[in-house]
Amino acid sequence: MYKGIGGSSGYGIGKIVIIKNDMPVYEIKSPENKENEIKRFLQAVDKFIEKTTKIAEHMRKTAGEKNAEIIEGHIIMLSDPFMQDEIKDKINSGMCAEEAVDKVCEQFIEMFTMTDDELTVQRATDIKDIRLRMLKILTGDRDIDISEVPKGSIIVAKDLTPSMTAGIVKENVEGIITQAGGFTSHSAILARALEIPGVFSVDDITDNARDGMEAVIDGKEGCVILNPSKEEITEYTTKKEKYLKNKEELNKYRNKATKTADSIEIELFGNIGKPEDAKNVKDNDGEGIGLFRTEFLFMENTQIPSEEEQFEAYKKTAVMMDGKEVIIRTLDVGGDKNIPYLGMEKEDNPFLGFRAVRYCLDRKEMYKIQLRALIRASVFGKIKIMIPLVTCVNELREVKVLVEDIKADLDRENIPYDKNISVGVMIETPAASEIADLLAKEADFFSIGTNDLTQYTMAVDRGNSKVAYLYSVYNPAVIRSIKRIISAAANENIIAGMCGEAAADPLLTPLGLKEFSVNASSILRTRAQIAKWTKAEADKVADEVMKCATQEEVYEILKRYER
């Protein structure tokens, strides 16, 4: 049995198909005509954009808007004038287009990889994908068409690029196994969106697996069995049938209120990246939007989006949700979200640097445009404002002052808005967790971002396989942090929700959250899980977990009480 990171739940039984996507070989030579060579490069860019647009359109239909954005991001990166100018400069210095693309991409890959931050490393994965596909276009090599794998396949690869994963035909693939990647890698995100079982970061799997070899995959526990015995096949066939039956039974929770077993009402929302995604949340019976990431408005523009552009996007979402709650996170730029026209300087460690609310409060005029658009849109629904990466009370106070100033301006202009619009904070840093009691006195609500909270608390790069064992929300340090946040909110009678990946983890249901915000596909499963617990039962498990000394002990107890 091989162990890895369970990145997409479910069970798969099938035959292995090894996917190799080797770099094409090209001849290093100086171009006879540099102008023509630049033209050849730009023609390859046009072809890349055309092919990538088609891939994104396919992904939009199969896995939703948010996942299509991963692919569309490649167009944005390659279209970046800075990147293109670097490649043109290399061609003018005497390199052929292939070598120029290769060298410039390698520079970006090294830059992103050196940050030792998982999300930034994902950018390196994107650049590797761009480089590979551009070189194939320039050399005339054929792209791998992963859609051609036969029914019953378990795909095995060193890593799956986003463009490769996007081509998967869900009905043909029993599972995905990769040697690299983790829970938040692009391949894992897309596997979850396609509801294909996936295990990632499995050491030496490409050396030990063979084409046609039978395999079993457990995407929940992160296990892979090569050449399983008859008994193991029977065992996992039973598990798979039970898993699929449970999924089917979730439909009985559709159009039902989210309640605990003792009838305590809980809010169950969905996460979105664009106004159009709100439809997916409604289709999956979500009770509101718990996290609307606004970066798309900025990333899809070549300049700061105007107040009207932003207003229309927020208004559209509020109207689509028809009076249901919509929590909109203000611009979370920086870290892995570099928007060229904002002119952000390169930092050695951008995830600990000038980003999110820090950047916005330093660019108040720009920030006020977004806040004004949000407040104006609030008259069309139940919009709430959420501030990302808060680390001190002063940041919350500064934003609230800006909100009050904007309200005063709107009053003078006789523009309607929700006079009681809520301003809350995203708790995703150890600093915010430590002062949760102080923040709770001044914030209208909390939303826990477990992805960053776990990473920052454990000082662990999520994508680094060497320390992946430490990146766990079950670690006592993280569990205690979450409980502290929940208690601080309860003491001040404000809602504490969760919008990170852990919100959909059934083992964490007993911790005492009042609001869960998950991917649309996880809404019904989360509602079913909440309905299995009474408050007294959940409190008992939470108290027991708080006494644990290791993440193994925490996990063991949560598994013991799993329902």
Structure confidence by residue, pLDDT tens digits, 138-153: 999 877 778 788 999 9
Tokens 């954005």 belong to residue: 69
Integer Cα distance of 280 and 285 in angstroms: 9
Burial of 413 by CB count in 10 Å (0-12 exposed, 13-18 middle, 19+ buried)?
exposed
DSSP 379: G
Burial of 33 by CB count in 10 Å (0-12 exposed, 13-18 middle, 19+ buried)?
exposed
Tokens 């608390």 belong to residue: 457
The two three-digit tokens of residue 197, written as one number: 């079982």
Return the axis-axis angle of helices 476-491 and 450-458, rounded to nearest 10°: 130
- pLDDT confidence tier of residue 116, bands split at 50, 70 and 90: very low
Q: pLDDT over 90 for what percent of the chain?
A: 64
For residue 445, the surrounding DSSP H or E stretch is strand 445-448
- Edge-to-edge, what's the strand order for the sheet holding 11-18? 2-3, 223-226, 214-218, 11-18, 153-157, 173-178, 198-200, 5-8
* Cβ-contact 447, 502 below 8 angstroms: no
Q: Which residues are catalytic?
A: 186, 499
DSSP per-residue string spanning 106-157: HHHHHHHHTT--HHHHHHHHHHHHHHHHHHHHHHTPPPP-GGGSPTTEEEEE
What does pLDDT average to over the chain?
90
For residue 296, the surrounding DSSP H or E stretch is helix 295-299
3 φ, ψ to 5°? -110, 140
Q: pLDDT over 70 for what percent of the chain?
A: 95
Q: Which of 510, 514, 465, 476 is nearest to 494 (CA)?
A: 514
- pLDDT confidence tier of residue 346, bands split at 50, 70 and 90: confident
Question: Of the given ranges (114-123, 272-281, 505-514), which has the lowest mean pLDDT?
Answer: 114-123
Question: Of the given ranges (95-99, 178-182, 285-289, 455-459), which has the lowest mean pLDDT?
Answer: 178-182
Report CA dihedral (167, 170, 174, 179) to the nearest 10 degrees.
30
Question: Of the given ranges (121-125, 179-183, 258-262), which has the lowest mean pLDDT?
Answer: 121-125
pTM over the 0.85 mark: no
The two three-digit tokens of residue 272, written as one number: 């979105």
Q: Where are the alpha helices (DSSP H) in 64-96?
A: 65-79, 81-92
Tens digits of residue pLDDT in 290-345: 999 898 788 767 788 899 999 999 999 999 999 999 999 999 877 555 666 777 77
Integer Cα distance of 104 and 36 in angstroms: 19
Q: What integer pLDDT is reported at residue 69 of this predicted model? A: 77
For residue 292, the surrounding DSSP H or E stretch is strand 288-293
363 φ, ψ to 5°? -120, 60
Tens digits of residue pLDDT in 15-64: 999 988 778 889 999 998 999 999 999 999 999 999 889 888 887 877 77
Question: Of the given ranges (103-107, 117-121, 482-486), which has the lowest mean pLDDT?
Answer: 117-121
- pLDDT confidence tier of residue 119, bands split at 50, 70 and 90: low
Q: Measured between alpha carbons, how far is residue 145 from residues 130, 186, 228 in Å? A: 16, 18, 28
The two three-digit tokens of residue 150, written as one number: 């036969």
Torsion-angle region of residue 268: left (phi > 0), alpha (psi -120 to 50) or beta? beta
CB-side neighbour CA atoms (13 Å) of 321 = 34
* Cβ-contact 119, 500 below 8 angstroms: no
Integer Cα distance of 196 and 146 in angstroms: 14
The two three-digit tokens of residue 56, written as one number: 């994104």
Q: Measured between alpha carbons, how far is residue 505 from residues 7, 221, 479, 509, 532 in Å? A: 12, 13, 13, 7, 14
Question: Of the given ranges (36-40, 306-310, 353-357, 362-366), which has the lowest mean pLDDT?
Answer: 353-357
Which amino acid is residue 237, in one-letter code? T
* Cβ-contact 58, 194 below 8 angstroms: no
CB atoms inside a 10 Å sphere around CB 489: 27
Q: Measured between alpha carbons, how far is residue 516 from residues 21, 152, 450, 453, 559 in Å? A: 39, 35, 12, 16, 20
Residue 181 pLDDT > 90? no
Q: What integer pLDDT is reported at residue 347 of this predicted model? A: 67
The two three-digit tokens of residue 13, written as one number: 């039984």
